[in-house]
Structure 1
Amino acid sequence: MRFKLRPSDDAFYEFFSKAAANLVRGTELLNELALPGADVQSISERLVEVEHDSDAITHELYNKINTSFITPFDREDIYRLGSQLDDIMDHLEGVGSLLYLYGLTKLPSLPREVHEMVNVLDQQAKLTADAMPRLKSMKDLREYWVECNRLENEGDRVYRMLLVRLFSGEYDALTVLKMKEVADELEAACDAFEHVANTVETIAVKES
């Protein structure tokens, strides 16, 4: 039997859980942003507030690491996981800001694939939020990272189809350039969720 000598500090797990809950708020706001008749400016501003809240959580996490003599698992992994969760929020906020600033929500309709990618991100966010509290016990996490990786593959497929649509001639050149930036942020967010899942898998293997 393996005995753990590290103390269990709930504060670290609470930081991860709060950061992941913010990701769910972020994807919910992106879903709102894409609805017809949405108050785009208000939703975009709320998304920025959530991003700022995530930055504050990450800063508190780093302070906690720096002032803790012993951590629940490797400091490098705690830093990495906190940073990766924050990266996701940055990409989600980037999507919302670009849609608003570029006026893309004024189009007759956003490409179907944009909605599909946001749906993939929403599923990844909920999976991640559900998994973070289980870090404390390191149990029942495999299904999380397997499903998150599957969703990342689905996101890649939708991203490629979005590019096909953008370069099909359906949109004018300027709209294509603007929408391509949004597509890249969506794809980056999808990849960032996978990075978090991979880090959780690495931590679970080390701690098993």
Structure 2
Amino acid sequence: MNWFRKLLPKEDRFFTLFEQHARTATEAAKTLEALLAGGEEVPQRCREIATIEHKADDITREVILAIRASFITPFDRGDIKDLISRMDDAVDQMHQTAKAITLFKTREFEPEMREMGAAIVACARLLEEVMPLLSALSRNAAPISDLCLRISTLEGQADDVYDRGMKALFKDGMPDAMNYIVRSQIYDHLEEVIDHFEDIADQIQGIVVEHV
């Protein structure tokens, strides 16, 4: 049946939707990075991330509907669903980060938090580079794997920044337990965002292995 499936026309708009979602993730990441610069613009940046998250949800919904409506998909339906879900998780977690910052009314952020914000932007941009390559998995297997590896490398580097920031926070926050709790939660949210990008990279690598 594999040879027969290859002869049938495929629904290629999934690739366009993946690219749209990746651009939305980059938009959210850049807004999060601007938010972490601090200042009076923080509440506005949080609202902007909420708006972007709604856009990402709309694209995700469109992908799910397309899976149901398409006779032949570019690769397995389960892989498509898992990939767009993981992509959406990353944007959702950026929104959760913004919600926590809004809740705690935080206006200043540690240098390590800003470093993690920059890493999130870098991951999102790499994901944007990956998406157009998915339409030709066999031809693009090597560059796809390289870009996914770079995302994983960034995740490892961000883990080191997280550890450094938490260590400094623990040392400086001993007199103020509430400050420690609030800021450690923001660190945790940022780490989860980057973890989601690594999950996306792993999902893409799995698709490459399965279909090449």
TM-score scaled by structure 2?
Answer: 0.91
Structure 2 distance, partners of 1:170, 1:180, is 10
Equivalent pairs counted in the alignment come to 204
The aligned amino acid for 2:124 is A
Structure 2 distance, partners of 1:13, 1:31, is 27
- The offset of 1:111, in angstroms, is 1.2
Quote the residue 2:167 is aligned against: 164
Structure 1 distance, partners of 2:177, 2:74, is 52
The aligned amino acid for 1:195 is D
Match of 1:81 among 80, 83, 92: 83
SS in 1 for 2:161: helix
The aligned amino acid for 1:92 is M
Structure 1 distance, partners of 2:10, 2:168, is 50
SS in 2 for 1:104: coil
2:133 aligned with 1:134? yes
Q: Does structure 2 retain, via aligned residues, the 8 Å contact 1:6–1:73?
A: no
For structure 1, list consecutive stretches of 5 or more residues without a partner in the other structure.
none
The aligned amino acid for 2:168 is R
Match of 2:147 among 144, 148, 151: 144
CA RMSD of aligned residues (A): 1.6
Structure 2 distance, partners of 1:17, 1:53, is 13
2:194 aligned with 1:194? no
Structure 1 distance, partners of 2:184, 2:34, is 21
Quote the residue 2:182 is aligned against: 178
Deviations 1:56-104 (A, max 9, x none): 1111110000111211101110010010000000111111222232121
Q: Counterparts in 2 of 1:42-121, with a 5 A limit?
A: 42-105=44-107, 107=108, 110-121=109-120
Structure 1 distance, partners of 2:71, 2:16, is 18
- The offset of 1:7, in angstroms, is 3.4
The aligned amino acid for 2:156 is N
SS in 1 for 2:172: coil
SS in 2 for 1:78: helix
For structure 2, list consecutive stretches of 5 or more residues without a partner in the other structure.
none
Compared CA separation, residues 5 and 173, structure 1 to 2 (3 A): farther
Q: Counterparts in 2 of 1:16-27, with a 5 A limit?
A: 16-27=18-29
TM-score scaled by structure 1?
Answer: 0.92
The aligned amino acid for 1:179 is R
The aligned amino acid for 1:187 is E
- The offset of 1:146, in angstroms, is 0.9
- The offset of 1:6, in angstroms, is 5.4
The aligned amino acid for 2:51 is E
